[in-house]
Chain A
Amino acid sequence: MITRSVGPNRRRNDIIWNAVAWVILIMLALPAFWIIMTAFRPNVEINTFPPVWIPRRLTLEAYANMFGLNPEVQQRVAVEAYLRNSLLASGISTVIAVSLGTLAGYAFARFRFRFHTTLFLGIMLSRAVPGVALSLPLFLLFNRVGLVNNVLGLAFVYVAVNIPFTAWLMDGFFRQIPTELTESAYIDGCGHWSAFWRIELPLSLPGLATAAIFAFLAAWNEFQIVSVLARNNAAKTAVHGGLARNGGDECDHDGAGGYLCDSGSAQPSQRIDLRRGEGLSHSAQSQWKTSSMLCHHSPSARSSTGFCIGMQRSHHFCVVSSAAIAAISASKSSP
C-alpha cells in the first residue's frame, strides 16, 4: 500500500476515487448480475418490453422442472448425467493436471538442466493450440481407441490442456520460496524428493489452490472439445448438454421448418396478466413483446416447457457455486 499524508484534500480525493471505482465495477458486474438472475426469475419478467430491470419475483421453478420435480414437465434431458460428467471430467482432470503441473513447475523453478527454456516454452505453447485445430484430429484418433463418448477420455484431454498453465503458475509460486530452505534441507540429509515433498510443497499450498481453481474452471467451461468428443446425450457435460440444447441453435436451423420450437403453454396465464394487468391496450400491442419462442435469441428459450431454462439454470447454478469457491480462495491467496 502506498502511504499518504492525510489532509482534507486527500480525504476528498479518496472519496472520489472510491466512488468512481465502485460505480465502474458495479457497471461491469451488471451483465453478470443479469445473467445470474435469469436463473431465478420467471420468464415473463425476462422477456418483456419494456424490460423489467429490477426483479419483482424470484423463483426456483426452473430448477424444479429441470430435476423432474414438476410433474407437468416432461423430462427428456439427462441432467444428472450432464452434471455427473462435468464433475467427473473437471474433478479428475484438475487433480491430475495440478499434480503433474506442480511437479513440472517445481522442476522449472528449482533446477538447472539442459533444454530448460525449450522444454518450458514447448509446454506453454501446447496451450496456445486452438481447440478447433485439436478437436477433430483428437476425435478421429480417440474413435479408434474407444475414448469417444467417454468421461475418462475427456478428462485425459483436459489434463493435457491444463498442465501448461498449472506448471507456469506453480513455477511462479516455487520461485517465491527461498532457495536457502531447500539447501538447508539438503544439508540435513534430505534427498531431492523429500525436500520437495516435506518442505516446499506444504509452503506452496495457496498456489496449489489457485492453480486448481483455474484448472477446474477451464475444464468445467470448456465447450469446443467436448462438443466433438461427446457424441451421445449421456456423455455430455453441463455446458455442452445444457447450453447446446437451448442456447445453441437447437430450434432455429431446421431444413424445412416446422415446429422448431415448442409452442406449449405452461405459463400463458402469467403472460396475459402482465400484458393486460399492466394496462397496455390492444392497439398498443406492438409495445409488448414476448419471446417465448426465441430459442435463437433468448436465454430462456422455449420458456413454455421450462426445462431448457432449467438446463440453462443448472449451468448457472454450478457456475455460481464454483464462482463462490473461486472468489473465496482467490481473495485469500491474492496479495
Chain B
Amino acid sequence: MAANSNSPRGKGAATRLVEVSRIEAGFFPFALILPAVILILLVVGFPLLYSLYVSFTPYELLKPNSLNFTTARALRNYQKLLNDEVFWRSLLNTIVFLAVTVNLSYLLSLALSQLLSRVTVGQSVLRTLLMVPMMFAPILVGMQFRWFFNANLGLVNNFLISVGLIQEQGQIAWLVDVPLGMITIIIASIWMNIPVMTIILLAGTLSLPSETFEAAEVDGASGWQKFRFITFPLLAPFSYIALTIMSLDIARAFDIVRIMTDGGPARRTEMLWTYITRLAIEDTKFGLGSAMSWITVFLSVAFTLYFFRQLVKARIVR
C-alpha cells in the first residue's frame, strides 16, 4: 500500500475501509499502546497462564495440597477429557449452537438491514426500536426467555392455547424436548445478537455508492440481482466486522444457556461453558476445569482469528 494520500475519500465505506497510509513515528506508537497491553497482560494474560499451569495439576478446590505439578501426570486432565463422552457431547453441542446462531443471526440481520434500508417513513424510530434488545444483560434475556417458554405458565404456550393451536393438556415442553431445547436457546441468542449486526450492516448498506446501482438499473438488473451482485459483495467488509464482533462476544451466550437450561435435561444442551462450571466449581475439580477452559480458549480464539483474517482480506482486496 503506497502512500495514496491524494486519493478521493469520504464518498463511502468502500473507500473508508481501504488500508490508509501510515506514518513512521519511531517509539511513539508503542508508547500509545503500552498501557493497554500492560493492563491486558495483567488481567487476561497472567490469569490464563496461571490456569494453564493449574490445568497440568490434579488441583481440587477443597484439597489445597493437590496443587502440585508432577511431570508424570501433567497431561492426565487432558487425557481424561479426551476420553470423556460428556466432553465430546458438550463440544459438539457448542459447535452446533455456535454455527447455527452465528449463521442465522447473520442471515436474519442481513435481510433486516436490506429491509430497513428501504424504509422511508420513520427510519430513525425503527433504528431506535431495533436497538432496545441490545441494552439488556444477557442473563436477563435468558431469564425472560426461560419464562416465555415455560411449559406450565409461559407466554408462548399460553398464546398457543389461546389461539387454539394446542390443548391445555398438551403443553409443549420447550426447554426439554429435542431439539426444542436447543432451538429455544438459539432463539434467545439470536434475538440478542440481531440488533448490533443489523445496525452495522445497515450502516454499510446506506454508505454504498449509489452510482453503481444506477448503472445496474440502466442495465435492467432485477432487485435480487442487484443484491446478489452488488450489495452483497460490497458489504463483505461490514459482514466480517459484524461476524467478528459476534465471535468476540459469543461467550455472552454462556449467561443465556446457564440460566435457561443449565445444560440439561440429560445433557441435551450441555455446552463447554456449563460443563466447565459444573466440573470446576460444583465438583471442585479445578485442574480438570482449567484444562477444559483452555480448550474453549483455543476454540474462541480460532473462531475469531478466522473472521479477522477474512476481514483483513476483504479490506485488502478492495
Contacts and interface: CB of A to CB of B under 8 A. Distances in A.
Q: CB atoms of A and B under 8 A apart anywhere in the complex?
A: yes
Interface of A: 1-3, 14, 17-18, 20-22, 24-26, 28-29, 31-36, 38, 47, 49-51, 100-101, 103-104, 106-113, 117, 119, 121-134, 136-138, 140-141, 156-157, 159-161, 163-165, 167, 175-176, 178-180, 182-183, 192-193, 217, 220-224, 239, 243, 247-248, 286, 289, 291, 294, 297-299, 315, 319-320, 322-323, 326-327, 330-331, 334-335
Nearest to B275: A132
B92 interface: no
20 contacts: A2-B213, A20-B115, A21-B116, A21-B126, A26-B129, A36-B132, A51-B158, A51-B162, A100-B35, A125-B304, A129-B48, A133-B51, A133-B294, A179-B5, A179-B21, A286-B168, A299-B144, A326-B131, A330-B199, A331-B128
Contacts of A298: 147, 153
A315 to B, nearest CB: 7
A34 B214 CA distance: 43
A335 B208 CA distance: 11
Interface string B279-314: 011000010011001101100110111001000100
Contacts, number: 305
Contacts of A117: 312
Contacts of A138: 43, 47
Interface string B16-58: 1100111111001110110111011011111110110010000
Contacts of A123: 33, 36-37, 40
Given A25-B129, A28-B191, A247-B143, A133 B297 contact: yes
A138 B50 CA distance: 9
Contact of A21 (B43, B119, B136, B245): B119
A103 B33 contact: yes
Contacts of B303: 128
Given A32-B132, A156-B43, A163-B40, 12 more contacts: A25-B126, A47-B153, A50-B158, A107-B28, A126-B44, A129-B300, A137-B51, A179-B23, A183-B5, A289-B153, A299-B143, A330-B127
A119 B29 CA distance: 11
Nearest to A153: B43
Contact of A179 (B20, B210, B251, B259): B20
Contact of B254 (A18, A49, A132, A141): A132
Given A107-B29, A160-B40, A327 B144 contact: no
Contact of B305 (A2, A111, A121): A121
Nearest to B44: A126
B133 interface: yes
Most chain A beta-carbon contacts within 10 A, residue among B33, B119, B122, B294:
B33
Nearest to B276: A132
B144 A126 contact: no
Interface in B150-193: 150, 152-155, 158-159, 161-162, 168, 191
Given A35-B136, A129-B48, A217-B134, A335 B29 contact: no
Contacts of B254: 130-132, 224
Nearest to B16: A176
B252 to A, nearest CB: 8
B232 interface: no
B194 interface: yes
B118 interface: yes
B206 A335 contact: yes
B33 A119 contact: yes
Interface of B: 5, 9-10, 16-17, 20-25, 28-30, 32-33, 35-37, 39-40, 42-48, 50-51, 54, 112, 115-122, 124, 126-140, 143-148, 150, 152-155, 158-159, 161-162, 168, 191, 194, 199, 202-203, 206-207, 210, 213-214, 244-245, 247-248, 251, 254-255, 259, 273, 276-277, 280-281, 286, 289-290, 293-294, 296-297, 300-301, 303-305, 308, 312
A297 B289 contact: no
A306 B202 CA distance: 42
B36 A334 contact: no
Given A110-B22, A159-B39, A128 B140 contact: no
A122 to B, nearest CB: 8
B132 A29 contact: yes
Given A17-B115, A217-B134, A289-B153, A130 B251 contact: yes
Interface of B: prevailing SS: helix
Q: Give the residue among B21, B39, B199 with the most A Cβ atoms within 10 A.
A: B39
B137 A221 contact: yes
B42 to A, nearest CB: 7
A334 B127 contact: yes
A101 B140 contact: no
Given A113-B30, A289-B153, A124 B39 contact: no
B33 A104 contact: yes
Contact of A163 (B22, B25, B36): B36
Contact of B162 (A50, A111, A176): A50
A155 to B, nearest CB: 11
Given A24-B112, A50-B158, A167 B36 contact: yes
A19 B2 CA distance: 48
B286 A136 contact: yes
A131 B251 contact: yes
B119 A17 contact: yes
Nearest to A244: B139
A1 to B, nearest CB: 7
Nearest to A103: B32
Contacts of B45: 126
A221 B121 CA distance: 33
B29 A113 contact: yes
Given A2-B213, A28-B194, A107-B32, A239 B137 contact: yes
B44 A134 contact: yes
A111 B251 contact: no
Contacts of A1: 206, 210
